[in-house]
Structures are given as structure tokens and as C-alpha cells.
């Protein structure tokens, strides 16, 4: 970094464009009402700037598109599989690869392979699909993240870290034999995209090894985590993101991956492991649920795009711009006094809906209401990450009441320009000025699993 004050720009230029549709407020009021005030149920053609997720929404490069033409669509033994396998070994270091259609396919296989009824699975905060697959396999998820992660304003540089005392406490309580593995999400999506330090993963490994507990890395955005280590952890400033990623993964035994994030593709994922017996089990199971072990639910061309995306995504120039875009947007909100989770995360800015709408109680879904209001105000789409996403306790049937009641404004990779971010920020700030007029929501339809995707709401008092 020669001069940190020098301006930066995206390290790519545009070759193909996709027009955006602008709508008026009345149109949007109608659209969100029809969508049951759930941004997941909006038609994408009714959205102006889509900041719902960074999952599968990335722009592929000419190099990736060229690779799509080299798809080997043989049923078995596609050359694109072998290329992907060699890149997973090169960039992540795991010995064995099983491709899956996306991240939750990998979580499904791994949970079924390793969890027995009555087991406990610790993790540094839950992720929706990860926890559900652990529960469906008979496990109980236990959150062992540091307390700072639950406080939106705490400036800890590695808020994704595991609290070793919490992890050890669980081991002492239930016994290592009841804990097949610990999941390390890095960065932690639900905490606001907060990273895990190298020091912390080393300590987790020491403790886990002592009790024969595997470490599973949710590597979905692991390159962003590596970038944060480079920026924030002593001893890493002169290492590349690629080197740091490889070192981080070396402290773990397996990974589940949603290629739809870091790897710059629209679909794809994998599970990778070092242990041969676990690999055999996964390879056997993938043919039941996903497809043959050399394609796992993907076309050959999808595997090629993912292998090539991996090469591009791990470049420092790519990943630093990606995170800087997010920081740029977050800073605009901070400057205007909008309450957001700090430090700003790697993939998204999380607005603290509890503070933003401090007059709406949590059981009237303030974050859900804020996401809907933001769409009405601007045509920009984002998502709830609060009580609706947290779901219900499987034993008591009660809502979980998470401390974090957030709206996630998420940035697809290589898709939007700085000017789109200016527009989106402007509207968040306008909404903030009239926040006292806002009203809560009532849930009128609730699906059994992952309710945030399909739940429907009505406005209270209108
Ligand atoms: N792990 C993390 C940390 C994720 O963020 C996701 C997906 C998954 C696993 C599951 O992967 O979607 O490919 O099945 N997150 C998306 C999001 C949905 O918007 O954050 P998937």
C-alpha cells in the first residue's frame, strides 16, 4: 500500500450491461404488499438495485465465461472436476473434494455423515442453513462465539472469534465424545461479517485436537476473512490473501463451501476433507442426494467457472476492492449517524434495526419492517437478519429473540458501481430522518423451515 490516501477503483471494466428498472413509490407499495412485506417474495424485475445477497449474484469475468465453453458434460470423470479438485488442493489445501450444488448441499452431507442423534455441535454463531442441517441430523447447536459479537457497537477487530472458555465448558459438560465437530464460520455472516483471527483458530485447534473433535471451516467467505487478517493481525501485513487462506484452512480438518459467494459464480459449492473415511462416506452419500461424485449436482461448465473464479477471487486486488466497496457504503451511513454494526463487515453493512426503529418491539419485527420500508422508499432490496431469521427453538417452539436485530445490505461482487452505493445510502439516510413514522408488522403465514424465506406479514395499524 504505497499511499493510503490515494483513490482506489474497481480492478475491472464493463463488457456487458444489464438494464435496471426504475419504479415509483406507489408501484413499490403495491409490490411489497403483494409480497407479504417479505423482500424474498418480491419479483426481481420490480427491484432497482438488488442488495438482497451476495450469494450467486456475482458478475463472472470473461475468463470464467470462456471456461463455460470448455464444460465437459460427461456423466462421469469430467475434466472440469479434476481441475476444480486441483485448485481446491492448491488454494485451500484439503486432500479430498466432493462437489455439491451449493453450500447447503455440502452442509447436508457433512451433517449426516458426522452427527449422531443426541450429539452437540458448537459453532461461532449460527448460520440458518448450517444449524438446520445439524438439527435435522439429530444434533443440538451450541453458540460459542465471544460475547462481543452480540454487541453491534463493540469494535473488537475479530468479533467472529470462538470463546475458548465456552467451547471448553461444553466439552466438560457433555464430553468430547458427544461433539463430532465444531463449525468455524469465517467471517461470521450473522454477526455482521466479522472475522476470526489466525491466533484464535490455532487455539481452537489445540483444544479440539485434545478431545478428538474435528474442525469444520465454513469457507464460504474465507477469502474475506484472510483479507481482514492481513489488515488487522500482527505478522500478516506482508502475506498475500492466498497464503493466509491456506494457512487458516491448514488449522481445520474439513470445509463446507458455498461457491456462490467468494468464488464468483452463480451456482456451486463443495465439501472438502482430509480424512479418508469421512471422504468415503461423503462420496457415497453424494450420489443419493446431489449426483455422481465427480459432478455433485453441477454441470461441468459450472465446475470450470468455480475453479477459475477461485483463481481470480484470491487475488489481493480483487478482495481489497470488494471489501472497500462495503466499507465505503458503511462509512456513508456512519457519517449520517445511522446505527450500523461496527466494525463494518466484509460482504455487507448491517443496520441495527433495534436502534433505527427503537419504538417497534422485537415481536413486531422491526428489521423485517425496515427492509420493507427501504424497498418502498428506494426500490433497493435488502434482507432481514433478526428474529424472523432466527426462527423458533425446536424444543420449546418459542421464537428465539436474538440480540442482533439487523437489516443486511449486501454487495454482490463486481456488479455495482460506487454511484449505485451513493444512491442506496442516500435513501437509507432519508428513511432514517423519518424513522418515527414507521410501524411494525404481524406475521400472518409461517413456514416450518427457514421461515424468513417465505413468511408473510401485514402492517400493524394501517
Ligand atoms: N454458510 C454461510 C456463511 C452462508 O452465508 C450461506 C449462504 C451458506 C452457508 C449456505 O450456502 O446458500 O449456497 O446453500 N448464505 C446466503 C446469504 C444465502 O444470503 O447469506 P448456500
**Residue 15 forms part of a structural domain:** no
Query: Active-site residue 350, yes or no?
Result: no
pTM greater than 0.85? yes
- Give me the mean pLDDT over the 392-397 stretch: 89
Are residue 75 and residue 195 in the same domain, yes or no? yes
- Residues spanned by the domain of 122: 62-313
Same domain, 265 and 333: no
Q: Whose CA is nearest to atom 19 of ligand 1?
A: 53
pLDDT (0 to 100) of residue 138: 97
pLDDT at 4: 67
Three-state secondary structure readout of 312-332: HHCCHHHHHHHHHHHHHHHHH
pLDDT confidence of residue 197 = 98
Range 38-55 average pLDDT: 98
pLDDT-derived band at 395 (thresholds 50, 70, 90) equals: confident
258 CA distance to ligand 1 middle (Å): 6
Comparing CA positions, the residue from 131, 138, 130 lying closest to residue 112 is 138
Each residue of 303-347: pLDDT tens digit?
Answer: 999 999 999 999 999 999 999 999 999 999 999 999 999 999 999
Task: Identify the domain boundary among 289, 313, 337.
Answer: 313
Question: For residue 172, how far is its CA from the centre of ligand 1 (angstroms)?
Answer: 31
For the CA of 383, the closest atom of ligand 1 is 19
Asked if the structure places residue 9 within a domain, the reply is no
Query: Distance (Å, rounded) from C-alpha 52 to C-alpha 323?
Result: 17
pLDDT one-digit tens code per residue, 63-73: 999 999 999 99
Give the pLDDT score at 353.
Answer: 97
List, in sequence order, the alpha helices (H) in 99-197: 103-114, 128-136, 164-174
pLDDT by residue (tens digit) across 145-201?
999 999 999 999 999 999 999 999 999 999 999 999 999 999 999 999 999 999 999
151 and 119 in one domain? yes
Q: At 461, is the pLDDT very low, low, confident or very high (cuts 50, 70, 90)? A: confident
Q: What local confidence, expressed as pLDDT, does residue 3 receive?
A: 58
- Domain boundary, last residue among 283, 298, 313: 313
Residues 278 and 350 occupy one common structural domain: no
Question: Both 373 and 438 in a single domain?
Answer: yes
290 and 385 in a common domain: no
CA of 99 to the centre of ligand 1 (A): 16
Half-sphere exposure of 398 (CA within 13 A, CB side): 4
* 1: confidence class by pLDDT, cuts 50, 70, 90: very low
Question: Residue 357 falls within a domain, yes or no?
Answer: yes
Q: How confident is the model at residue 424 (pLDDT cuts 50, 70, 90)?
A: very high
Q: Are residues 185 and 288 in the same domain?
A: yes
For the segment 202-231, the average pLDDT, to the nearest whole number, is 98
Kindly state whether residues 188 and 301 are assigned to the same domain: yes
Contact by Cβ (8 Å): 285, 109: yes
- With respect to residue 44, please indicate whether it lies within any of the assigned structural domains: yes
In the predicted model, what is the mean pLDDT of residues 364-392?
A: 97
Residues 342, 419: one domain?
A: yes
174 backbone dihedrals φ, ψ, rounded to 5° = -110, -15
Average pLDDT for 87-98: 98
Residue from 129, 194, 326, 345 whose mutation best tests the ligand 1 pocket (most atoms within 8 A of CB): 129
Domain boundary among 313, 346, 369: 313
CA of 5 from ligand 1 middle (Å) equals 34
Question: Residue 281's domain is classified under what CATH number?
Answer: 3.40.640.10
pLDDT in tens, 335-370: 999 999 999 999 999 999 999 999 999 999 999 999
Task: Report whether residue 297 contacts ligand 1, using a CB cutoff of 6 Å.
Answer: no
Are 349 and 330 in contact by the 8 Å Cβ rule? The answer is yes
Residue 6 in any domain: the answer is: no
Ligand 1 lined by 87 (C-beta under 6 Å): no
Q: Domain tally for the chain?
A: 2
The overall average pLDDT reported for the chain is 96
pLDDT band at 8 (very low <50, low <70, confident <90, very high): confident
User: Does 444 lie in the same domain as 343?
Assistant: yes
* 272 occurs within a structural domain: yes
Please indicate whether residue 325, judged by its CB atom, sits closer than 6 Å to ligand 1. no
Is residue 16 a part of any domain in this protein?
Answer: no
In-domain check, residue 175: yes
Q: How far, in Å, is the centroid of ligand 1 from the Cα of 452?
A: 13
Look at 2-6, 217-221, 343-347, 384-388 and tell me which has the smallest mean pLDDT.
2-6
On the CB side of 152, CA atoms within 13 Å amount to 22
Contact 146, 156 (CB under 8 A): yes
Q: Is the pLDDT of residue 2 over 80?
A: no
Please say if 385 is a catalytic residue. Answer: yes
Are 309 and 334 found together in one domain? no
Same domain, 388 and 245: no
Mean pLDDT to the nearest integer, 248-268 = 98
CATH of the domain at 433: 3.90.1150.10
Task: Write b or e for each residue in 145-163: b if 16 or more Cβ atoms lie within 10 A of its Cβ, otherwise e.
Answer: bbebbebbeeeeebbbbbb
Residues 156, 164: Cα–Cα separation, whole Å: 16
Closest residue (by CA) to atom 9 of ligand 1? 103
Q: Whose CA is nearest to atom 10 of ligand 1?
A: 103
Give me the pLDDT at residue 348, please: 97
Residue of the nearest CA to atom 18 in ligand 1?
55
Averaged pLDDT for residues 280-286: 97
Q: Could you report the per-residue pLDDT of 291-302, keeping only the tens digit for each?
A: 999 999 999 999
Amino acid at each position: 500500500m504505497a499511499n493510503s490516501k490515494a483513490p482506489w477503483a474497481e480492478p475491472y471494466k464493463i463488457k456487458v450491461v444489464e438494464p435496471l428498472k426504475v419504479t415509483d413509490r406507489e408501484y413499490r407499495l403495491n409490490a411489497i404488499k403483494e409480497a407479504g412485506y417479505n423482500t424474498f417474495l418480491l419479483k426481481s424485475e420490480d427491484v432497482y438495485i438488488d442488495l438482497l445477497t451476495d450469494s450467486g449474484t456475482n458478475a463472472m469475468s470473461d475468463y470464467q465465461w470462456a471456461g463455460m465453453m470448455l464444460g465437459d458434460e460427461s456423466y462421469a470423470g469430467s475434466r472440469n472436476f479434476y481441475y476444480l479438485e486441483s485448485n481446491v488442493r492448491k488454494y485451500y489445501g484439503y486432500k479430498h473434494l466432493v462437489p455439491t450444488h451449493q453450500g447447503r448441499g455440502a452442509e447436508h452431507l457433512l451433517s449426516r455423515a458426522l452427527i449422531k442423534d443426541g450429539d452437540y455441535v458448537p459453532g461461532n454463531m449460527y448460520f440458518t442453513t448450517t444449524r438446520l442441517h445439524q438439527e435435522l441430523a439429530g444434533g443440538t447447536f451450541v453458540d460459542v462465539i465471544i460475547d462481543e459479537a452480540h454487541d453491534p457497537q463493540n469494535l473488537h477487530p475479530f468479533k467472529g472469534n470462538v470463546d475458548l472458555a465456552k467451547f471448553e465448558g461444553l466439552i466438560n459438560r457433555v464430553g468430547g465424545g458427544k461433539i463430532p465437530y465444531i463449525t468455524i464460520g469465517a467471517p461470521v455472516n450473522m454477526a455482521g461479517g466479522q472475522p476470526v483471527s489466525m491466533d484464535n483458530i490455532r487455539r481452537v485447534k489445540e483444544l479440539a485436537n485434545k478431545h478428538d473433535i474435528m474442525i469444520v471451516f465454513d469457507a464460504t467467505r474465507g477469502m474475506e476473512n484472510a483479507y481482514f487478517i492481513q489488515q488487522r493481525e500482527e505478522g500478516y501485513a506482508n502475506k498475500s490473501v492466498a497464503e493466509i487462506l491456506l494457512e487458516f484452512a491448514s488449522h481445520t480438518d474439513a470445509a463446507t463451501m458455498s461457491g456462490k459467494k467468494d468464488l464468483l459464480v452463480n451456482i456451486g459449492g463443495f465439501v472438502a476433507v482430509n480424512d479418508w473415511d469421512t471422504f468415503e462416506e461423503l462420496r457415497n452419500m453424494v450420489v443419493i442426494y446431489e449426483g455422481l461424485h465427480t459432478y455433485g449436482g453441477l454441470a461441468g461448465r459450472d465446475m470450470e467457472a468455480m475453479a477459475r473464479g477461485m483463481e481470480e477471487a484470491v487475488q489481493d486486488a480483487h478482495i481489497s476492492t470488494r471489501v472497500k466497496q462495503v466499507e465505503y457504503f458503511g462509512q456513508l451511513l456512519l457519517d449520517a449517524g445511522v446505527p450500523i454494526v461496527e466494525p463494518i463487515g466484509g460482504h455487507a453493512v448491517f443496520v441495527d434495526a433495534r436502534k433505527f426503529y427503537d419504538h417497534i418491539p422485537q415481536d413486531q419485527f422491526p428489521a423485517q419492517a425496515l427492509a420493507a420500508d427501504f424497498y418502498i422508499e428506494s426500490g433497493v432490496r435488502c434482507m432481514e437478519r433478526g428474529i424472523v431469521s432466527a426462527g423458533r427453538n425446536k424444543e420449546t417452539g418459542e421464537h428465539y429473540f436474538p440480540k442482533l436485530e439487523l437489516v443486511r445490505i449486501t454487495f454482490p461482487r463486481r456488479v455495482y458501481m460506487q454511484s449505485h452505493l451513493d444512491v442506496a445510502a442516500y435513501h437509507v439516510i432519508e428513511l432514517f430522518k423519518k424513522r418515527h413514522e414507521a410501524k411494525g408488522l404481524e406475521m400472518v403465514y409461517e413456514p416450518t423451515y427457514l421461515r424468513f424465506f417465505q413468511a408473510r406479514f401485514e402492517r400493524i395499524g394501517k
